[in-house]
C-alpha cells in the first residue's frame, strides 16, 4: 500500500492533470483543432538555432570521459560561465564555487530546501503560487506558510510577510516574472522585502525561482534579485528561456552575501548527490557553457501575449497584461473558479482554476501555445464572455 501522505497529496494536486485528461477526451471527441488547451506551461517554441548547433557539435566530440560522473556541483567550466554571468548582472563577485548545476529549477529548489531545512522549519510561499512548491517543501520536512500577495498588483506584501515570520521561518520562495500572474517584482518591492527579512531574529534565506527571468516584454528587464536581496539563493533553469524543459538543466547560485556561505555551498553540492540527482546532465552542461547568452525569440511570445490580451478583453474579461513569463491570470466572472473552468470546458477551452494556485476567484491560461490555436479560440472566448454577461 502506498503512503497515506502521498495519497492525500496526489488527490490535492491533481487539477492540472485533470485538465490534461479532459483535453485528451475532448480532442478524441471533437478533433484536436476544435479544442483550445491553455492549461499547461509547456513552451511550444523550438530551442534557438545556436543551441541546436551546439547539440550537433558536442555530440561529435570524440574526447573520452565526456559522459562520466563528475564533481556533484558540475563541470567547473560551466559553473564559471554561470558565475560570470551572475557577477555581471548583480554587480557582486560570484565565484564558480557558489554555482551548482542542477536538474532544472525544480532540482535547484529541492536541493536548496534539503540543504536548509530541519523538520518543522517554515518556508513562506506567496499565493498565488506554483503548486509544486508545497510538495518540494514537504519533501524535506518543511512546513509551507502561505502569505497572499496584494490582490490588485499581485506584488508581495512586506507587512503580511513580516506578520508571518516566526522563529522557525527558514526561507521565502519568490518567483519573478511570476507564474501564474505574469508580474515582475520591482526594485522597491525587493528592497522592502529584504528589509523585512533582515529584521527577523534569525537568517531567512530567499529562494529566487527565476525560470522566466529572460522572458520579458515591452523592453522591460527583470530586476536582479541577487543584487537586491541579501541572503539570496538563485534557483534557475533554461527550461523556458531556451525551451529545454525536457532536458532538465538548471543551477543554484549562492550570493556571496549569504549567511553561513561556505557551509551552504558545501551542503548544496552534497544534497545534489544524496537526493539522487548525483550531478546535472553532463551533455547539457557542456551545451550551456557554449550558449549561455542564447534566448528563444521573446518577440514571438510578446505577439501572442498581445493577441491573447485583445481576445480576452474583447470578451469582457478583467485581466492584467503580463509583463513577463507566459501566463494570464484573469479574474473569474463568478466566485467559484472551478465552476467557471468547467463552463469553459463546455466551449472546449481548457484553463486552470485559481484554487490550484492557492488563489480562488481567478483562473490561469498559458499563451505559450501555437498562434493559430490562439486565433481559432477567439469565438469560443466571446461565447464564454456572453454566457457570463461580460459583453
Ligand atoms: C514557477 C516555476 N518554477 C519552477 C518550475 C520548474 O522548472 P524546471 O522545468 O526548470 O524544473 C516551473 C515550471 O513550470 C515554474 O513555472
Query: What pLDDT digit, counting tens, does each position of 308-336 carry?
Result: 999 999 999 999 999 999 999 999 999 99
For the stretch 239-252, pLDDT in tens is: 999 999 999 999 99
CA of 314 relative to ligand 1 center, distance in Å: 31
Residue 377: CB within 6 Å of ligand 1? no
- Number of the ligand 1 atom closest to the C-alpha atom of 209: 3
Residue 43: CB within 6 Å of ligand 1? no
pLDDT at position 319 is 96
- Extract the C-alpha cell encoding 330: 484573469
Residue 209: CB within 6 Å of ligand 1? yes
Helix or strand or coil: residue 92?
coil
Q: Are 128 and 361 in contact (CB under 8 A)?
A: no
CA of 106 relative to ligand 1 center, distance in Å: 6
| Domains of the chain, earliest start first | 4-46+297-387 (3.90.1150.10), 50-291 (3.40.640.10)
Q: Are 242 and 296 in contact (CB under 8 A)?
A: yes
How many of the other CB atoms lie within 10 Å of CB of 331? 16
Q: Are 288 and 99 in contact (CB under 8 A)?
A: no
Residue 175: CB within 6 Å of ligand 1? yes
Given a cut of 90, whether residue 6 has pLDDT beyond it is: no
CA of 344 relative to ligand 1 center, distance in Å: 26
For the stretch 259-293, pLDDT in tens is: 999 999 999 999 999 999 999 999 999 999 999 99
> Rounded distance, CA 374 to CA 309, Å?
10
Residue 179: CB within 6 Å of ligand 1? yes
Q: Are 43 and 325 in contact (CB under 8 A)?
A: no
> What are the distances in angstroms from CA 360 to CA 157, 288, 333?
18, 39, 12
The pLDDT of 369-374, averaged and rounded, is 96
More confidently predicted of 280 and 9: 280
Residue 102: CB within 6 Å of ligand 1? no
- Rounded to a whole number of angstroms, the distance between the first and last alpha carbons of the chain is 52
For the stretch 15-60, pLDDT in tens is: 766 777 788 888 888 988 899 999 988 888 999 999 999 999 999 9
For the entire predicted model, the pTM comes to 0.96
Helix or strand or coil: residue 170?
strand
Residue 105: CB within 6 Å of ligand 1? yes
Helix or strand or coil: residue 185?
coil
Residue pointed to by grid coordinates 528587464: 221
- Number of the ligand 1 atom closest to the C-alpha atom of 236: 10
More confidently predicted of 197 and 42: 197
Residue 41: CB within 6 Å of ligand 1? yes
> What are the distances in angstroms from CA 301 to CA 240, 298, 315, 324, 326?
11, 5, 21, 9, 7
Given a cut of 70, whether residue 13 has pLDDT beyond it is: no
pLDDT at position 10 is 81
Q: Are 294 and 301 in contact (CB under 8 A)?
A: no
With 0-12 / 13-18 / 19 or more C-beta atoms within 10 angstroms meaning exposed / middle / buried, residue 125 is buried
The residue whose CB lies within 8 Å of the most ligand 1 atoms, and thus the one to mutate among 13, 43, 106, 236, is 106
Closest CA to 99 of 117, 69, 76: 76
The residue whose CB lies within 8 Å of the most ligand 1 atoms, and thus the one to mutate among 127, 207, 211, is 211
> Rounded distance, CA 140 to CA 71, Å?
23
Amino acid at each position: 500500500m502506498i503512503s497515506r501522505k502521498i495519497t492525500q497529496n496526489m488527490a490535492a494536486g491533481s487539477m492540472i492533470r485533470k485538465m490534461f485528461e479532459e483535453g485528451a477526451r475532448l480532442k478524441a471527441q471533437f478533433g484536436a483543432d476544435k479544442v483550445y488547451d491553455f492549461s499547461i506551461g509547456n513552451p511550444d517554441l523550438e530551442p534557438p538555432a545556436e543551441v541546436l548547433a551546439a547539440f550537433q557539435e558536442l555530440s561529435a566530440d570524440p574526447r573520452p570521459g565526456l559522459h562520466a560522473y563528475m564533481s556533484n556541483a558540475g563541470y567547473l567550466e560551466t559553473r564559471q560561465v554561470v558565475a560570470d554571468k551572475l557577477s555581471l548582472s548583480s554587480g557582486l563577485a560570484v565565484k564558480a564555487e557558489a554555482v551548482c548545476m542542477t536538474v532544472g529549477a525544480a532540482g535547484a529548489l529541492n536541493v536548496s530546501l534539503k540543504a536548509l531545512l530541519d523538520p518543522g522549519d517554515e518556508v513562506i510561499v506567496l499565493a498565488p503560487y506554483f503548486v509544486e512548491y508545497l510538495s518540494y517543501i514537504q519533501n524535506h520536512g518543511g512546513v509551507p506558510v502561505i502569505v497572499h500577495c496584494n490582490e490588485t498588483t499581485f506584488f508581495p506584501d512586506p507587512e503580511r510577510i513580516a506578520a508571518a515570520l516566526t522563529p522557525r521561518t527558514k526561507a521565502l520562495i519568490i518567483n519573478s516574472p511570476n507564474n501564474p500572474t505574469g508580474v515582475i517584482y520591482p526594485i522597491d518591492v525587493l528592497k522592502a522585502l529584504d528589509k523585512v527579512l533582515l529584521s527577523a531574529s534569525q537568517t531567512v534565506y530567499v529562494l529566487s525561482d527565476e525560470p522566466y527571468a529572460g522572458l520579458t516584454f515591452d523592453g522591460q528587464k527583470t530586476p536582479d534579485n541577487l543584487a537586491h536581496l541579501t541572503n539570496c539563493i538563485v534557483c534557475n533553469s533554461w527550461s523556458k528561456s531556451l525551451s529545454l524543459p525536457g532536458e532538465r538543466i538548471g543551477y543554484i547560485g549562492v550570493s556571496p552575501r549569504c549567511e553561513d556561505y561556505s557551509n551552504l555551498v558545501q551542503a548544496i553540492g552534497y544534497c545534489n548527490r544524496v537526493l539522487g540527482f548525483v550531478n546535472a546532465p553532463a551533455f547539457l552542461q557542456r551545451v550551456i557553457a557554449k550558449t549561455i547568452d542564447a534566448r528563444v525569440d521573446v518577440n514571438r511570445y510578446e505577439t501572442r501575449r498581445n493577441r491573447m490580451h485583445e481576445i480576452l478583453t474583447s470578451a469582457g474579461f478583467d485581466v492584467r497584461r503580463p509583463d513577463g513569463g507566459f501566463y494570464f491570470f484573469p479574474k473569474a466572472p463568478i466566485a467559484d473558479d472551478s465552476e467557471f473552468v468547467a463552463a469553459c470546458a463546455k466551449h472546449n477551452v481548457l484553463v486552470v482554476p485559481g484554487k490550484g494556485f492557492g488563489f480562488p476567484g481567478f483562473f490561469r491560461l498559458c499563451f505559450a501555445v501555437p498562434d493559430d490555436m490562439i486565433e481559432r479560440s477567439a469565438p469560443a472566448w466571446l461565447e464564454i464572455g456572453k454566457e457570463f454577461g461580460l459583453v
